[in-house]
Structure 1
Amino acid sequence: MSRFSSIDVVHLRWFVAVAEELHFARAAKALRISRQRLSQTVIDLEAELDTKLFVPGASPTQLTDDGRELLAAARELIVQADAAGQEQTSDRPAALRVGFVPGVTVSKWTRIWADRFPETPLEVLALPAADQLSALREGWVDMCFVRLPIDRDGLSAIPLYRELPVVVVPKEHPISLFTEVGLADLADEKMQDGGDIDGAAVLFEMVAAGVGQVVVPHSIARLHARRDLVYRTVTDAPDTEIALAWPTAHTSDLSEEFVGVVRGRSERSSRSPSGHAEPARNSGAAAKSGAAKKSGASKKPTAARKSGTSGKPAATKKKPLKRRGR
Structure 2
Amino acid sequence: MSDFDVTAADSIDLDRLRRFVAVAEELHFARAAKALRIPRQALSATVIELEEELGTRVFVPGASPTQLTDDGTALLARARDLIRVREQADREQKPDAPASLRVGFVPGVTVSKWARIWGERLPDHPLEVVGVTQGEQESVLREGRVDLCFVRLPIDRTATNAITLWQETPVAVVQKDDALSLLETISPADLATETIQDSADLDQAVDTLALVAAVGGAAIMPQSIARLHHRRDLVYRPISDTEFTEIALAWPAGTDSDLLEEFVGIVRGRSANSSRGGVAEPEQRAAAPARKSAAKKPAAKKPAPKKPVARGRKPARRGR
State whether residues 10 and 82 of structure 2, in contact with CA within 8 Å, keep that contact through their aligned partners in structure 1: no
Q: Deviations over 1:262-293 (max 9, x none)?
A: 000111212259x999xxxxxxxxxxxxxxx8
State whether residues 181 and 232 of structure 1, in contact with CA within 8 Å, keep that contact through their aligned partners in structure 2: yes
Show structure 1 runs of 5+ residues with no match: 16-27, 278-292, 300-326
The alpha-carbon deviation at position 3 of structure 1 amounts to 3.0
The alpha-carbon deviation at position 37 of structure 1 amounts to 6.4
State whether residues 51 and 57 of structure 2, in contact with CA within 8 Å, keep that contact through their aligned partners in structure 1: no
Q: Determine whether 1:143 maps to 2:148.
A: yes
Residue 245 (structure 2) aligns with:
240
The code of the aligned residue for 2:104 comes to G
Q: Which runs of structure 2 are paired with 1:14-29 in the superposition (5 Å)?
A: none
State whether residues 46 and 53 of structure 1, in contact with CA within 8 Å, keep that contact through their aligned partners in structure 2: no
Give the distance between the partners of 2:241 and 2:75, measured in 1 at CA.
58
SS in 2 for 1:146: strand
State whether residues 46 and 52 of structure 1, in contact with CA within 8 Å, keep that contact through their aligned partners in structure 2: no
State whether residues 4 and 73 of structure 1, in contact with CA within 8 Å, keep that contact through their aligned partners in structure 2: no
Q: Deviations over 1:244-277 (max 9, x none)?
A: 000112111111111100000111212259x999
Residue 3 (structure 1) aligns with:
11
Distance 1:138 1:10, change over 3 A: farther
Residue 275 (structure 2) aligns with:
270
Q: Which runs of structure 2 are paired with 1:19-58 in the superposition (5 Å)?
A: 36=27, 47=48, 48-50=50-52, 51-52=55-56
2:231 pairs, out of 226, 232, 246, with 226
Q: Which runs of structure 2 are paired with 1:93-112 in the superposition (5 Å)?
A: 93-112=98-117
Distance 1:236 1:99, change over 3 A: same
SS in 2 for 1:83: helix
Q: Deviations over 1:138-157 (max 9, x none)?
A: 11100000000011221100
State whether residues 164 and 233 of structure 1, in contact with CA within 8 Å, keep that contact through their aligned partners in structure 2: yes
The alpha-carbon deviation at position 87 of structure 1 amounts to 1.9
Residue 308 (structure 1) aligns with:
none
SS in 2 for 1:185: coil
2:122 pairs, out of 101, 105, 117, with 117
Show structure 2 runs of 5+ residues with no match: 1-8, 33-42, 61-67, 282-290, 298-320
SS in 1 for 2:119: helix
The alpha-carbon deviation at position 212 of structure 1 amounts to 2.2
TM-score normalised per structure 1: 0.67
TM-score normalised per structure 2: 0.69
Aligned residues with identical type, % of pairs: 45
State whether residues 102 and 129 of structure 1, in contact with CA within 8 Å, keep that contact through their aligned partners in structure 2: yes
Give the distance between the partners of 2:115 and 2:227, measured in 1 at CA.
21
Give the distance between the partners of 2:77 and 2:137, measured in 1 at CA.
28
SS in 2 for 1:156: strand
The alpha-carbon deviation at position 68 of structure 1 amounts to 7.6
1:188 pairs, out of 193, 196, 199, with 193
Give the distance between the partners of 2:191 and 2:170, measured in 1 at CA.
13
Residue 82 (structure 1) aligns with:
88
The alpha-carbon deviation at position 63 of structure 1 amounts to 6.3
Distance 1:63 1:219, change over 3 A: closer
Residue 221 (structure 2) aligns with:
216
Residue 197 (structure 1) aligns with:
202
Give the distance between the partners of 1:210 and 1:192, measured in 2 at CA.
10
Q: Which runs of structure 2 are paired with 1:288-307 in the superposition (5 Å)?
A: 297-298=295-296
The code of the aligned residue for 1:207 comes to V
Question: What is the aligned residue count?
Answer: 257
Distance 1:213 1:13, change over 3 A: closer
Give the distance between the partners of 1:177 and 1:67, measured in 2 at CA.
53
Higher mean displacement: 146-155 or 76-85: 76-85
1:128 pairs, out of 121, 124, 133, with 133
The alpha-carbon deviation at position 52 of structure 1 amounts to 2.6
State whether residues 172 and 218 of structure 2, in contact with CA within 8 Å, keep that contact through their aligned partners in structure 1: yes
